[in-house]
Chains A and B, each alone.
Chain A
Amino acid sequence: GAVVSQHPSWVICKSGTSVKIECRSLDFQATTMFWYRQFPKQSLMLMATSNEGSKATYEQGVEKDKFLINHASLTLSTLTVTSAHPEDSSFYICSAIDAALGWSYTFGSGTRLTVV
């Protein structure tokens, strides 16, 4: 089945630095990828929709200059948290749609970001 690899699985960074999270579709082409954030004991919150070769569409309230999303190829999307602060500490999850199947939403295993 479709596999989405997310890297790193966890990262600790200092306040003020930037962190990049990668999301790769391993065995399929993903025309659309999504980025979510999940705080403890809460549900997943959609941050942005990323289409290959175009700018990401951000949900209301999500700062596009802080959460930079790049989807340069059909198998890779990256989320960069710029100038991270402790309140950015969260579980970040990506998902991808298999272009061939259209409906197959596969999620990555998530990245635990801790900003100290």
Chain B
Amino acid sequence: DAKTTQPPSMDCAEGRAANLPCNHSTISGNEYVYWYRQIHSQGPQYIIHGLKNNETNEMASLIITEDRKSSTLILPHATLRDTAVYYCIVETNTGNQFYFGTGTSLTVIP
């Protein structure tokens, strides 16, 4: 079962930062947090992942709280093409499975 909860939907103005929260209060010490996004009728696309430290790549930044019970994905300058469903996933430490939660549907508004 999914170990994450996310708000069902969010709006963001084009050019502004999009901050997508995720709660994973039951995460275990060695479980990673992954973020993927899915544009309609396509396979999920990898964004970023982390364990305990904040991470940044060319797509986004990932902020993980010190207690690791929540995280925030930051898209620094949202564009219309960032409109998608964003999934926060905690990888199981037993079989490496991903159990998807409901995700957040992000709409970037012109």
> Hey, which bits of chain A sit against chain B, CB under 8 A?
4, 6, 32, 34, 36, 43-46, 49, 57, 91, 93, 95, 97, 103-110, 112
Contact = CB atoms under 8 A, between A and B. Distances in A.
A112 B41 contact: yes
Contact of B100 (A43, A97, A109): A43
Contacts of B103: 43
Contacts of A36: 100
B24 to A, nearest CB: 16
Nearest to A109: B43
Given A43-B87, A43-B103, A105 B42 contact: no
Contacts, number: 52
A112 B43 CA distance: 11
Taking chain B's interface residues, is the majority helix, strand, or loop, or is none over half, making it mixed? loop
A32 B96 CA distance: 9
| Residue from B42, B49, B103 with most neighbouring chain A CB atoms (10 Å) | B42
A34 B45 contact: no
B44 A57 contact: no
Interface string B1-13: 0100000000000
A57 B95 CA distance: 10
A107 B45 contact: yes
Contacts of A45: 100
Interface in B86-110: 87, 91, 95-103
8 contacts: A6-B43, A32-B96, A34-B97, A44-B44, A49-B95, A103-B91, A107-B43, A112-B41
Contacts of A57: 95
